[in-house]
């Protein structure tokens, strides 16, 4: 390999030649060899501590203070007042509920369709690379771009979707003011952007299932459908858990879609599709209450931990049940 050749051909480091300082130089080199790994992780960890870990931990601290956007240097102790204020705010509960319903509306169909698509992509197909690439295309767009396009497609009077609905013979839907309708519209954007991505993750998982399992199932006379249920799904369980957790985290912090769907910071006239992420932004950068926003962030964090924990528990219980059978 040319790589090793260049390494060998290079000049020897100082210290290989004999000299009076040989012992000291060798000691120095040994010390450096012990210390140098830290030099390699230093750039990452310096940034990681300053911009990653510190803000994450400090959020809990900030949530106990009164901090206003314009004077973010001044902090006034409030104890749990930010939290009690939160729990008595009607809009907090609305946004919590919206986060949950939009989360379910977007995650469940998204993962179900991804599973189906992955199954099809796993067949021998002409142009499979092209299909895989094309199906990932929505993933390459930004939240902002996708939402603006969909907001137009979902327009009440001149939107293409209402036009098509009209052709089929139904009344136009007000995608912006209706609670269910607007949440479906917002979920559609999420589904559109992420289905292809999840399909590829599932496809990767499916390809690691040994072919012999299918052969054995076929010899037992299992139909394609039964093979899917009894071979593919169990083999895919770790992958499914992974996508469920990742989608749950994504859904909990949904922000760009509800903000740009109509351009309003409150998530619609009656907050009908305001999510927790948007509520946090409204409190912090709309009303300048950074302390209150930090409390919301902390609630989101607890929510994520609980949801991920519940998911893991369900999966483990199901696995144990199956092992017992």
The interface region with other proteins, picked from 32-40, 84-92, 100-108, 309-317 by CB under 8 A, is 32-40
Q: Min. distance of Cβ 63 from other proteins in angstroms?
A: 8
Based on its alpha-carbon atoms, the radius of gyration of the chain, rounded to whole angstroms, reads 27
Tell me how far apart the alpha carbons of residues 159 and 152 are, in angstroms, rounded to a whole number.
6
The CA-based angle 62-68-71, given to 5 degrees, is 105
Site for other proteins in 206-245 (CB under 8 A): 206-212, 214, 236, 238-239, 241-243, 245
- In 3D, which of 65, 81, 203 has the Cα closest to residue 135? 203
* Continuous segment of H or E residues that includes residue 296: helix 290-324
Which residues ranging from 109 to 138 are in contact with other proteins (CB under 8 A)? 116-117, 120-125, 129, 131-138
Q: Is 18 in the site for other proteins (CB under 8 A)?
A: no
- x/- binding map, residues 134-163, to other proteins, per CB under 8 A? xxxxx-xxxxxxxxxxxxxx---xx-x--x
Closer to other proteins by CB, 211 or 321: give it: 211
Task: Rounding to the nearest 10 degrees, give the CA dihedral for residues 110, 175, 148, 259.
Answer: -80
Q: How far is the CB of 160 from other proteins (least distance, A)?
A: 6
Mark the segment that binds other proteins (CB under 8 A) among 79-87, 98-106, 256-264, 316-324: 256-264
Neighbouring CB atoms inside 10 A of 199's CB total 25
Number of residues that bind other proteins (CB under 8 A): 117
- Sequence-separated (6 or more) residues with CB below 8 Å from residue 303: 252, 276
CB atoms within 10 A of CB 193: 22
Regarding 77 and contact with other proteins (CB under 8 A), the answer is no
Taking CB under 8 A as the rule, does residue 248 contact other proteins? no
Selected binder of other proteins within 111, 190, 298, 307 (CB under 8 A): 298
Least CB distance to other proteins at residue 132 (A): 5
């Amino acid at each position: 390999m040319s790589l090793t050749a260049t390494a060998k051909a290079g000049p020897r480091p100082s210290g290989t030649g004999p000299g009076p300082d040989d012992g000291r130089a060798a000691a120095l080199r040994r010390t450096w060899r012990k210390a140098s790994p830290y030099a390699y992780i230093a750039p990452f960890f310096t940034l990681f501590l300053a911009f990653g870990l510190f803000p994450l931990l400090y959020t809990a601290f900030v949530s106990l203070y009164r901090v206003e956007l314009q004077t973010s240097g001044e902090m006034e102790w409030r104890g749990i007042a930010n939290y009690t204020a939160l729990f008595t705010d009607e809009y907090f509960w609305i946004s919590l509920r919206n986060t949950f319903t939009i989360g379910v509306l977007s995650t469940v169909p998204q993962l179900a369709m991804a599973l189906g698509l992955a199954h099809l992509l796993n067949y021998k197909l002409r142009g499979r690379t092209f299909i895989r690439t094309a199906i990932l295309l929505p993933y390459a767009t930004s939240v902002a771009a996708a939402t603006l396009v969909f907001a137009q497609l979902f327009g009440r009077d001149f939107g293409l979707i209402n036009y098509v609905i009209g052709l089929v013979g139904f009344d136009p839907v007000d995608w912006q003011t209706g609670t269910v309708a607007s949440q479906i519209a917002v979920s559609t954007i999420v589904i559109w952007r992420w289905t292809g991505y999840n399909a590829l993750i599932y496809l990767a998982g499916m390809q690691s299932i040994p072919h012999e399992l299918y052969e054995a199932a076929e010899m037992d006379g299992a139909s394609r459908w039964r093979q899917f249920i009894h071979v593919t799904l169990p083999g895919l369980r770790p992958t499914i858990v992974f996508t469920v957790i990742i989608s749950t985290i994504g859904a909990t912090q949904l922000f760009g879609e509800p903000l740009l769907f109509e351009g309003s910071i409150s998530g619609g006239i009656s907050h009908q599709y305001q999510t927790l992420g948007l509520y946090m932004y409204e409190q912090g950068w709309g009303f300048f209450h950074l302390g209150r926003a930090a409390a919301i962030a902390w609630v989101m964090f607890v929510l994520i931990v609980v949801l991920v924990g519940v998911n893991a528990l369900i999966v483990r219980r199901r696995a144990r049940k199956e092992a017992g059978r």
